[in-house]
Structure 1
Amino acid sequence: MRFFAVAALSALFHFAVVAEPVEDFIPPRSVPKGFVTTRGSNFEVNGKPFYFVGANSYWLPLLTTQEDVENTFEEMQGAGIKVLRTWGFNAINGSELADAQKSGLTYYQIWNSTEWVLNDGPQGLHRLDNVVSTAGKYGIKVILAFTNNWAPSSMSTGLEALAKRMTFSILIRESYLHTAKRYVKTIVNRYKASPNIFAWELMNEARCLGDLPGGPSCVPGSGTLHTWYKQQADFVRSLDPHHLITTGGEGHFFWKKPVGFWFNGTFVSDYNFNGQAGEDFDADLSLKNIDFGTYHIYPQFWYPQLDTPGSNFTLKSWGLGWIKDHANAARRAGKPVILEEFGVSGLTNKTGVYPAWVDLALGTNHGLLHSGIMPWQFGMTGLKESGGNRLIKYADALIDGASPNDGFAIYKNQSAVWNVFTRAAQVQAAKSR
């Protein structure tokens, strides 16, 4: 999904990125104590199976008080959550610095023209340090994403300015060497000894087309994103031989057989299956240093023209098919897969759809099995900083003690929805014994 935080790496995948050659690294068979590893289609920790219900919370590192951070993790722990997915990025332009310091905004990089400076301070990476360490205190492991496809505006980080000013060939080289490599290395080296890290995630929802125009080389069959995934995964593996690595992709397929739907008498090729997004889930999952697959589900927003009264299209049935497609792909690859983000808006939709999706994904009454699910997104009430009301940036805010809500947030007081996931967490915990 789209979020306010802007990644300093966010434009990289729009181009045919050329990286310095990196030697292939084969993940070791053994990892340090407490690290997550894989065995076939499952995860393990210390030789025991690890099944989980997780939580997405991009806003957790944005909190400014330890009390709110602790209370959020305590509520996650009480719900049975074992994995947190959050952002390892947030950059601002130099022109935003004064306002950021005044508002208390968390930021990890300050961009000035075509270069950035790391913020390794109490309003910067110290907050991410705290989230990672506090997660471990509550028995929760962290999936940390390096960057994001989505940005709030087309010119909000130094990379967009770089793209505007430099030639294509120079941009390719400079963007990789001076942003991705240096920042990723900083983050990986900072936490590579920590068992609190579940996995590194290359990018949230990489596509050929995002908030910046797609490059001409990123078209179905070009393999541009596939090559980028490989280069980045190999680079991260060279830095860290132990932690798992995944793409963070939405799970788009590139199937040769046409998949589509009829709309107003015209057959429409389906973006989720025709390779236009740039991903090829089957091929991407086969990469040696991609340890498990991820995919997302938002049919309500992917197919608005079909989700209408009288249509035979239903959110529930489409999602069930998408789950099966990814379970089958993971089985062919012999690797785990996580339903990493999913959401529908409206309480009736949630209570009608989520139980079926969760039941199928976790194999409660089926042969299909995912090791983990992570609904979008975890909601927290009772936050106290700034009296529970604070505009963070753009549309994100704490309101009456509640964490940001984009229509998908799941709060404890929404018991019918909340209980779907707490019951699933109990099932997953029983499998892990």
Structure 2
Amino acid sequence: MRTLFAACILSSWLLALVSRAEPATIQRRNSRVPQGFVTTNGRTFELDGKPFSFVGANSYWLPLLLTESDVKKTFKTMQEAGVKVLRTWGFNAINATELPGALESGLTYYQACPLPHAESLSCLQRLDRVISTAGEYGIKVIVAFTNNWVGYGGSDLYVNWIAGANQPHDVFFTDPRIIASYQSYVKTIVERYKDSPNIFAWELMNEARCLSDTLPAGPSCVPGSNTLLTWYRQQSDFVRSLDPNHLITTGGEGHFFWKKPVEYWFDHTLVSDYNFNGQAGEDFDHDLLLPNIDFGTYHLYPQSWYSELDFPGSNWTVESWGLEWIDDHVRAANKANKPVILEEFGVGGLQNKSTIYPKWVQRALDTKHAIMPWQFGELGLAEDGGNRIIKYADAINHGASPNDGNTFYINQTAVWDIFTRAAKIQNERSG
């Protein structure tokens, strides 16, 4: 999801790391990982040799909380709902000019650019708290390293700081200086937590695409260029060289590059479908085959992706398109013989959620893969009296965690019960 988050570039001395941007040989995941680490067995996740099926939660805002009591409260609610895996951001950076305001507001940030590296990693103790508290409540954590979107930074800060103005978004995936800087930050995170069984997996990027919301794609990132495939391979091999035990995934939306992409009629014109024609840059079928990509991820937001088709009286429906999208990824996962996670999904409106989610969740359950709705909401947060502006429009409002329209809370019983029911089914399937 295009949540608001910031990532930036470390200082110029990191550019010397370019020559070390890629390991000489491809490492493979350790086949005998320590106790408590999640593994895969074909299309199944396993924990200590037993099946590990789950309903998870997305919460990008959890490391932004200031108080330990609110973090514990949130994990307690997740535990009671049957959540077994949390996905959150392992990034948040600010420009050096933003530093005074961040210090005044208590904003969590991990990098401040262009300060030296050692001075930049300021609030990792808050991420430490999230990861350690997750373990106390029996919850594993998926950590994403950066964001495709500009909110809270994202990859375009790397582009702007290192490559400079007037560069396309996709140089993030190809410029050796940017890759070295990204890898330096990734190394800091991975080495900090690589021995922790509380980590479920490392995620290379949230929703990588050829373009972003602020910069266009360049001519080197087009259907068939394999720009993202090459980057996924390079970065997954790099992470594996640092950590032989934890799972690695892309964090992608699951776009396809089919020889005969889907088409649809709109405004008397036959349109090639962006989700299937490779224009986004992903090639889900082939990305999933990379040796150090241990499982697939995909996201599901047809209401916003096809807003021109979603109108009263249309014979196109959000529900049916979502079911087909789930089936498409099941087929790809079966072919690759790897697990897949419906890692994000959302629709706006309580009525839509309560009628559409049961169908999507049941299809995911029937096809034996994990479910992580976007996004988990918590009530009764107490910091700053329950009202705090975090950044942008993100705020704790009367004790409620940030609400982007897809957020669901425990008092929305019709929606909440969908996921608690699914969690019970998944937990029964687990060892």
Normalised TM-score (structure 1): 0.93
Contact residue 120 and residue 126 of structure 1 kept, 8 A: no
| 1:118, distance to aligned residue in structure 2 (A) | 4.9
Contact residue 119 and residue 125 of structure 1 kept, 8 A: no
| 1:117, distance to aligned residue in structure 2 (A) | 5.0
Task: State the alpha-carbon separation in 2 of the partners of residues 202 and 231 from structure 1.
Answer: 10
Task: State the alpha-carbon separation in 2 of the partners of residues 241 and 410 from structure 1.
Answer: 36
**Do structure 1's residue 229 and structure 2's residue 232 form an aligned pair?**
yes
Which deviates more, 347-356 or 163-172?
Answer: 163-172
Q: 2:55 aligns to what SS in structure 1? A: strand
Q: 1:69/1:355 Cα in 2 relative to 1: closer, same or farther (>3 Å)?
A: same
Q: Of 342, 346, 349, which residue of structure 2 is paired with 1:346?
A: 349
| 1:7, distance to aligned residue in structure 2 (A) | 2.0
Q: 1:157 aligns to what SS in structure 2? A: helix
Task: State the alpha-carbon separation in 2 of the partners of residues 341 and 148 from structure 1.
Answer: 14
Q: 1:198/1:144 Cα in 2 relative to 1: closer, same or farther (>3 Å)?
A: same
Task: State the alpha-carbon separation in 1 of the partners of residues 166 and 298 from structure 2.
Answer: 34
Structure 1 spans left out of the alignment, 5+ residues? 11-16
| 1:22, distance to aligned residue in structure 2 (A) | 3.4
Task: State the alpha-carbon separation in 2 of the partners of residues 46 and 161 from structure 1.
Answer: 44
Q: 1:380 aligns to what SS in structure 2? A: coil
Task: State the alpha-carbon separation in 1 of the partners of residues 156 and 67 from structure 2.
Answer: 27
User: What's the counterpart of residue 143 of structure 1?
Assistant: 142
Q: Where in structure 2 are the equivalents of 1:179-258 lying within 5 Å?
A: 179-211=181-213, 212-258=215-261
Q: Of 76, 82, 93, which residue of structure 2 is paired with 1:74?
A: 76
Task: State the alpha-carbon separation in 1 of the partners of residues 393 and 300 from structure 2.
Answer: 23
Q: Of 393, 396, 405, which residue of structure 2 is paired with 1:395?
A: 393
Task: State the alpha-carbon separation in 2 of the partners of residues 133 and 422 from structure 1.
Answer: 24
* Equivalent AA in structure 2 for residue 64 of structure 1: L
User: What's the counterpart of residue 31 of structure 1?
Assistant: 33
How many residue pairs end up in the alignment? 418
User: What's the counterpart of residue 373 of structure 1?
Assistant: 371
Contact residue 8 and residue 95 of structure 2 kept, 8 A: no
Contact residue 149 and residue 156 of structure 2 kept, 8 A: no
**Do structure 1's residue 327 and structure 2's residue 358 form an aligned pair?**
no
Contact residue 109 and residue 117 of structure 1 kept, 8 A: no
Task: State the alpha-carbon separation in 2 of the partners of residues 408 and 326 from structure 1.
Answer: 22
| 1:23, distance to aligned residue in structure 2 (A) | 1.1
Task: State the alpha-carbon separation in 2 of the partners of residues 336 and 390 from structure 1.
Answer: 39
Q: Of 54, 57, 73, which residue of structure 2 is paired with 1:55?
A: 57
Q: Where in structure 2 are the equivalents of 1:103-122 lying within 5 Å?
A: 103-112=105-114, 118-121=119-122
Task: State the alpha-carbon separation in 2 of the partners of residues 221 and 375 from structure 1.
Answer: 31
* Equivalent AA in structure 1 for residue 348 of structure 2: S
Percent identity between the two aligned chains: 64
Q: 1:104/1:220 Cα in 2 relative to 1: closer, same or farther (>3 Å)?
A: same
Q: 1:119/1:137 Cα in 2 relative to 1: closer, same or farther (>3 Å)?
A: farther
Task: State the alpha-carbon separation in 2 of the partners of residues 208 and 383 from structure 1.
Answer: 38
Q: 1:226 aligns to what SS in structure 2? A: helix
1:119-175: per-residue Cα shift (whole Å, max 9, x none)? 444xx0000000000000000000000000001489983541323269999981211
Q: Runs of at least 4 residues of structure 1 off by over 6 A?
A: 153-156, 166-171
| 1:385, distance to aligned residue in structure 2 (A) | 0.2
Task: State the alpha-carbon separation in 2 of the partners of residues 261 and 348 from structure 1.
Answer: 27
Structure 2 spans left out of the alignment, 5+ residues? 11-17
| 1:28, distance to aligned residue in structure 2 (A) | 2.1
* Equivalent AA in structure 1 for residue 205 of structure 2: M
**Do structure 1's residue 164 and structure 2's residue 164 form an aligned pair?**
yes
User: What's the counterpart of residue 14 of structure 1?
Assistant: none
User: What's the counterpart of residue 361 of structure 1?
Assistant: 364
User: What's the counterpart of residue 285 of structure 1?
Assistant: 288
- Note the aligned Cα RMSD (angstroms): 2.1
Task: State the alpha-carbon separation in 1 of the partners of residues 375 and 192 from structure 2.
Answer: 26
Q: 1:316/1:155 Cα in 2 relative to 1: closer, same or farther (>3 Å)?
A: closer
**Do structure 1's residue 8 and structure 2's residue 11 form an aligned pair?**
no
Q: 1:229/1:206 Cα in 2 relative to 1: closer, same or farther (>3 Å)?
A: same
Q: 2:148 aligns to what SS in structure 1? A: coil
* Equivalent AA in structure 2 for residue 88 of structure 1: G
Contact residue 298 and residue 341 of structure 2 kept, 8 A: yes
User: What's the counterpart of residue 411 of structure 1?
Assistant: 409
| 1:369, distance to aligned residue in structure 2 (A) | 1.9
Q: Of 264, 269, 283, which residue of structure 1 is paired with 2:267?
A: 264
Task: State the alpha-carbon separation in 2 of the partners of residues 22 and 271 from structure 1.
Answer: 35
* Equivalent AA in structure 2 for residue 369 of structure 1: K
Task: State the alpha-carbon separation in 1 of the partners of residues 200 and 289 from structure 2.
Answer: 20
Q: 1:22/1:166 Cα in 2 relative to 1: closer, same or farther (>3 Å)?
A: farther
Contact residue 7 and residue 154 of structure 2 kept, 8 A: no
Task: State the alpha-carbon separation in 1 of the partners of residues 29 and 155 from structure 2.
Answer: 38
Task: State the alpha-carbon separation in 1 of the partners of residues 358 and 166 from structure 2.
Answer: 50
Contact residue 155 and residue 161 of structure 1 kept, 8 A: no
Task: State the alpha-carbon separation in 2 of the partners of residues 308 and 117 from structure 1.
Answer: 52
Task: State the alpha-carbon separation in 1 of the partners of residues 131 and 273 from structure 2.
Answer: 39
Q: 2:160 aligns to what SS in structure 1? A: helix
Q: 1:207/1:118 Cα in 2 relative to 1: closer, same or farther (>3 Å)?
A: farther
| 1:21, distance to aligned residue in structure 2 (A) | 4.4
